[in-house]
Amino acid sequence: MKLNKNFELIKDNYLFHTIALKTEAFKKENPTADIIRLGIGDVVLPLTPHIVDAAKKAADEMASIETFKGYGPYRGYDFLLNAIVQYYQDNFKVDIEPDEVFTSCGAKNDIAAILELFDVSNTVLIPDPVYPAYVGANIMDGRKIIYMNGTKENNFLPLPSDKTKGDIIYLCSPNNPTGAVYTREQLKQWVDFAIKNDSVILFDSAYEYFITEDLPRSIYEIEGAKKCAIEVCSLSKTAGFTGVRFGHTIVPKELKDLNNRWFIRQSSKHNGVSIIVQRMAEAVFSKQGQKEAKQNVAIYQENANLMKKTLKDLGIYSTGGTNCPFVWFECGKDSWKFFDNLLNNAHIIGTPGAGFGQNGEGFFRFSSFNTPENTQKAMDRFKKFLKR
Ligand code: PLP
């Protein structure tokens, strides 16, 4: 038996695991400290009433022999695929077909699993800074990664140039951690590049629901994208599903043989999403579900506004927050040192920019996923912390 040697190339624990370990150690030493978590992007507001009703109804159906359901269709039930198709039509004016939609237990699973469709000899382009899961998944598979620099100068939105080379391109828009969102013109450059170079774009739209400006929420808003892009999305942040677990992946039928191959992969390795969760997801995509989701998201957006205002008042450069639940700001040279200082002195957990890639060093991320009360308290403490 030989081990997968690629794991030896993974330098550190997964970023948020490291943060959890540091937090645990701090708590052990300071058991009474009132820690405020603005670190891992995990929601705090409970599921909304319409979703909970759907869960209860689905559970009741499972309790009766007439309505009980066993294994479901691999892609997901038609009621849900149709609800997602309708969501794309209503919100993005994008036509997709039900058999282009694949439901999943969340975006993180699919972002990594979809790589099985591609040979390990492919070169992967990954923005830096970005959500760290893309990097780990590709290192474990043994693919060559080329990082694309996201900097203050390019508004953290790397674009292709004449020299760009890459077979698999990850785009995260709105970007975690910087909150940067590609415009339609910029995404068109990526779509044109991918078509010209026979590359595939893996478009992560986990935060599309937070976009407040006139910016693309789906890559399929861009002409030609169906020929070159797979879109991965999630209800984790849209509707508080981080614990429930639900996402969907769109694999267009125009994109080589990938729709067919992803179906083969899914039917071989995946037995579908829980029926109860599918009913809950259907409820999210309904009119009432959307109304309730927007109310929760508005609370997080207000938190982000407060963070941005606080940073501005303190004269600190920040970005994000307007179209994304993350606020990204300059913190001095060493972001892990800033993390430790902030935890030790203000009992606030944030995320050091270095954890999102080399270009993240010198920056820090606050997540707006908390209550307004805690956010206010955290910002008051933060001001005092900086004025020490
Ligand atoms: N994609 C991005 C950009 C994320 O930031 C996250 C979670 O933080 C995910 C995907 C994971 O989503 P899910 O909870 O659906 O696995």
pLDDT tens, residue by residue, 82-93? 999 999 999 999
Residue 359 has pLDDT above 80, yes or no: yes
Determine the Cα–Cα distance for residues 291 and 303; give it in Å rounded to an integer.
19
Q: What is the per-residue pLDDT across 25-42, written as a single tens digit (0 to 9) for each?
A: 999 999 999 999 998 889
Pocket test for ligand 1, best of 236, 237, 351 (most atoms within 8 A of CB): 236
Mean pLDDT of the chain: 96
103 lines ligand 1 (CB under 6 A): no
- pLDDT value, residue 15: 81
Instruction: Give the largest Cα separation in the chain, rounded.
Output: 66
Determine the Cα–Cα distance for residues 204 and 130; give it in Å rounded to an integer.
11
- pLDDT value, residue 371: 96
Sheet holding 144-149, edge to edge: 101-104, 247-250, 229-234, 200-204, 168-172, 123-128, 144-149
Q: Ramachandran region of residue 16, left (φ > 0), alpha (ψ -120 to 50) or beta? A: alpha
Tokens of 189: 């450059």
0.75 surpassed by pTM = yes
Rounded to an integer, the average pLDDT of 151-155 is: 97
Rounded to an integer, the average pLDDT of 342-359 is: 96
DSSP output for 166-222: -SEEEEESS-TTT-----HHHHHHHHHHHHHHT-EEEEE-TTGGG--SS--SSGGGS
Pocket test for ligand 1, best of 17, 171, 234 (most atoms within 8 A of CB): 234
Q: Find the 234 Cα to ligand 1 centroid distance in Å.
A: 7
368 lines ligand 1 (CB under 6 A): no
Tell me the pLDDT band of 172, cut-offs 50, 70 and 90.
very high
19 lines ligand 1 (CB under 6 A): no
Q: Ramachandran region of residue 90, left (φ > 0), alpha (ψ -120 to 50) or beta? A: alpha
Rounded to an integer, the average pLDDT of 294-311 is: 97
Q: Is residue 160 reached through a cis peptide bond, with omega within 30 degrees of 0 on the bond before it?
A: no
Question: Token pair 């439901």 is at which residue?
Answer: 103
Rounded to an integer, the average pLDDT of 311-323 is: 97
Among the residue ranges 19-23, 109-113, 194-198, 311-315, the one predicted with the least confidence is: 19-23
Tokens of 285: 């995509």
- pLDDT value, residue 1: 96
172 lines ligand 1 (CB under 6 A): yes
Residue 384 has pLDDT above 90, yes or no: yes
Residue 121 has pLDDT above 90, yes or no: yes
Rounded to an integer, the average pLDDT of 83-110 is: 97
Tell me the pLDDT band of 16, cut-offs 50, 70 and 90.
confident
Tell me the pLDDT band of 18, cut-offs 50, 70 and 90.
confident
- pLDDT value, residue 106: 96
DSSP SS3 for 108:
helix
Q: Find the 292 Cα to ligand 1 centroid distance in Å.
A: 21
247 lines ligand 1 (CB under 6 A): yes
Residue 268 has pLDDT above 90, yes or no: yes
Rounded to an integer, the average pLDDT of 95-123 is: 97
Ligand 1 atom with minimal separation from the 242 CA: 14
- pLDDT value, residue 10: 86
Q: Find the 163 Cα to ligand 1 centroid distance in Å.
A: 30
Of 40 and 323, the structure prediction assigns the larger pLDDT to 323
Q: Find the 241 Cα to ligand 1 centroid distance in Å.
A: 11
- pLDDT value, residue 14: 72
Number of CB atoms found within 10 A of residue 209's CB: 22
- pLDDT value, residue 198: 97
